[in-house]
Chains A and B, each alone.
Chain A
C-alpha cells in the first residue's frame, strides 16, 4: 500500500509496470500530455514513438503475437483514438491480446463536442473485447488491471481504456491490491466436459479417414499447446492441416503435415478435409476462407471442435462433439484419456487413407512454371526461405497474393514465428507488426514479406524503425498491381482491371534511402540470391524491391462459392471452370 497519493497518470503507469509491461507503442497529443509527462519522469516503461496511431496498434499486435504477452498502446483522444479502430478490429478478429489507453477530453466536457473529442467507447464497442471509460479516479487502478485480465483471459482480444484528462491529473492512492483481485464475473472455462472428452477420444480412435484441422487458438494457448498437439498427432499417426493463423502450431517439415487448408491451401489438405470421416478441430473457427461453400463442406465427417469461445461452436458448421476449453487443457485431457483407455488407431484403415493422401500429394499442387528471365514471386519467397531457415527468424506479411505465397512457401517449425492479418485482412499490417516483433526480439531476423501496394499503406513507419534502430527487412514482392484484386478481376470480372494497377509507384530504393535505410533491387532471377544475402547482412532497416512477374496468379485456389473438391490448380483450370453467379456475390 502506497500511502502517498499519486496522479492518475502515475497510477496508470504503475499498473503497467505491475503487469510486467516494459514497452508501449504510442503517439502523444493534448489529452494524454499528463501521461507523457509521467513517462518522462520514469525509466521502467520504454515508449516507442510511432508515425501514425494505426501503426502503433499493429506494432503491439506483432509484439503480442511473437511473445504471447499483452501488447500496449497509448494514443490521444479524437483522431488518435479513431486511427486505432482498424488495428483494434484486426486484433479482435485474430484474437490478439492488447490494452489500448486512449486520452479523452475532461469529464465535464464529454458530450460537448470539445476539441479532439470523439465517443471512443461508443466507436470501439463492436471492435473490442471490452472497453472502459474511467469517470472516477477511484476506479482507475481496478480498471487498469481488469483490462489486462480481460485482454489475456479466455479468447484473447483488445481492451480499450478511455482516460479523461482530469482523471489523469486527479490524485489518489495506489493500493497494489487490484492486481490480485479476480474478475467478479468473467471467468472463462478452461477444462472441457469429461464426458465429451471421452466421446471425442472414442471418435478419434474409431476414425478411418481422420484429419486434424488446427488454428490460431493453439498458438494463443501458449507453446505447450503446440507440444501437446505434436504429441497427440504423432501418437495417432493422423494427418494434420493448419489454418493461416495456425501456421507454426505444428512443424511444417513433418510428414504428417499436409500444408495449409482453405482458399489457397494445398490440394491434399483440402481434399482430405472434403473426404475425411472424423474432423478434429483444435482452435480454428470454420472461417469462410477455410470452408468454401458450407453446404458442400466436408460432407461425410463427424466433427470434434475444441474452442475456448463457445460462440465459435456450431456457428458455421454443426459439430458432434463440442469441447469448450483451453487448447492446452483439452489436449492434455485427450492424451490422458486416450492412454487411460489404451486406445489405438485402426492401422489398416489409416494406411489406406495415407495411400490416398499421398496420391493427392503427388499432384504437387504448389508447382509453378519457372523462368530464367523473369522473377517468379514463388521463386523469390522460396529463395528467401532457403537463406533464412536456419536463423532465428520471424516473418510478418501484408495482405494479398504475397501473403498467400508466403503462407505456402515459407515453412514454420514453431509457433509465434508468423504474424499475419488473417481475419480482417488489413493491408499495411506487416511493417508495423515487424517493428513490434523486432522490439520484442532485438537480435532476431524480422522480415516483412510485402506487396508494393500494401507497404505504402503504412510506409511512414520506416521512420519509426530508423529512429529506434530496428533492422527490420521489407521484402517487397513487387508486381506493380494489387495482385489479389487483379487476380479476382481476371477470374470474376472478365479481365476488366478496374483501378488495380498502381501507375505511379515510388522508387523503393530511393525511398528506403530517404528514410535513412538501405534500398536493394532485384529485376532478374540471378539477382535474387545476392539481394537476399545483402539484405540479411545489413544491420539497418532494408527495403528490398523484388520486381516479379506481373501476371502470376496464386494457386491452388478454391473460388468463392465452390467446394474443396472444386479447386483450381493452375492457370489452365481457370478457363475450364467459370465461377458461379452465387460465387460472385461472396467476398
Chain B
C-alpha cells in the first residue's frame, strides 16, 4: 500500500447557505477523513469564506479530494498548503483545569512555560488560552490531565502560506 500522508488544504468558497454541508458531505459521502476543519468568512465585500481542512490519505486519495473539491460549484480555489511549499499552521485551545493547592500552582507554572494565558480564574479553577501547533496543544493538554483537566475546546487548524503571495 502507498504511504498515508497528512495534508492541510485551504479552500476558498462562496459564503452561501449550504456550502459547508457540501464540503463535509463530500468527505463523508466518499469516505475521506477529516482530522480538523475550520471555516469563517474572510472577505465580506465578496462574500468569501475560507475553509481549512486537515486530512489524511494516500497521494492518490489526496489528489482525488482536491479534484472533488474543485468540482463543487461554489468553490473558488483549492490549495494544498502541505504540497505547495512552506506554510504556518496554528490552532487555539481553551483548557479548563480545576484544582487547589500544589496542583493549581503546578498548572500555572506549566502554562507559563507553554506561554498559555489564564483568561478566567476562580478559587478552584483556571481557563487557559493556548495557541500553537497541534503537537504543542496536545502536549499541553496531556500535562494538564493529572493536574485536574476538566474541559477542552479547540478551534482546529488554521493555516496560511509563508511569503507575500495570497491564496
The reply to whether chain A is a binding partner of chain B is yes
Q: Which residues of B contact A121 (CB under 8 A)?
A: 18
Q: Which residues of B contact A311 (CB under 8 A)?
A: 64, 67-68, 70-71
Contact residues, B14-30 vs A (CB, 8 A): 14, 17-18, 21-22, 25, 29
Contact residues, A110-158 vs B (CB, 8 A): 121-122, 125-126, 129-131, 133, 135, 150
Instruction: With both chains docked as a complex, state the minimum distance between the C-beta of B17 and any C-beta of chain A, in angstroms.
Output: 7
Q: A125-B21, A125-B25, A185-B14 are known contacts. Are A318 and B60 too (CB-CB below 8 A)? A: yes
| Bound complex: CA A309 to CA B64 (Å) | 11
**Which one of B22, B25, B64, B70 lies within 8 Å of A315 (CB-CB)?**
B64
Kindly state whether residue A523 has any CB partner on chain B within 8 Å: no
Q: Which residues of B contact A131 (CB under 8 A)?
A: 18
Q: Which residues of A contact B71 (CB under 8 A)?
A: 309-311
Kindly state whether residue B99 has any CB partner on chain A within 8 Å: no
Q: Which residues of B contact A450 (CB under 8 A)?
A: none
Kindly state whether residue A203 has any CB partner on chain B within 8 Å: no
**Which one of A129, A133, A185, A314 lies within 8 Å of B63 (CB-CB)?**
A314
Kindly state whether residue B45 has any CB partner on chain A within 8 Å: no
Kindly state whether residue A427 has any CB partner on chain B within 8 Å: no
Kindly state whether residue B73 has any CB partner on chain A within 8 Å: yes
Q: Which residues of A contact B18 (CB under 8 A)?
A: 121-122, 125, 131, 133
Contacts between the two chains (Cβ within 8 Å), count: 40
Instruction: With both chains docked as a complex, state the minimum distance between the C-beta of A507 and any C-beta of chain B, in angstroms.
Output: 43
Kindly state whether residue B57 has any CB partner on chain A within 8 Å: no
Kindly state whether residue A186 has any CB partner on chain B within 8 Å: yes
Q: A314-B60, A318-B60 are known contacts. Are A129 and B67 too (CB-CB below 8 A)? A: no
| Bound complex: CA A309 to CA B72 (Å) | 11
Contact residues, B52-81 vs A (CB, 8 A): 60, 63-64, 67-68, 70-76
Kindly state whether residue A278 has any CB partner on chain B within 8 Å: no
Q: Which residues of B contact A96 (CB under 8 A)?
A: none
**Which one of A122, A185, A315, A318 lies within 8 Å of B76 (CB-CB)?**
A185
| Bound complex: CA A122 to CA B75 (Å) | 18
Instruction: With both chains docked as a complex, state the minimum distance between the C-beta of A143 and any C-beta of chain B, in angstroms.
Output: 11
9 sampled A-B residue pairs with Cβ under 8 A: A121-B18, A122-B21, A125-B21, A126-B29, A131-B18, A185-B75, A311-B68, A311-B70, A314-B64
Apart from A130-B73, A131-B18, A135-B17, 18 more pairs, CB < 8 Å: A121-B18, A122-B21, A125-B25, A126-B29, A130-B74, A133-B17, A150-B73, A185-B73, A185-B74, A310-B67, A310-B70, A311-B67, A311-B70, A313-B67, A314-B60, A314-B64, A315-B64, A318-B60
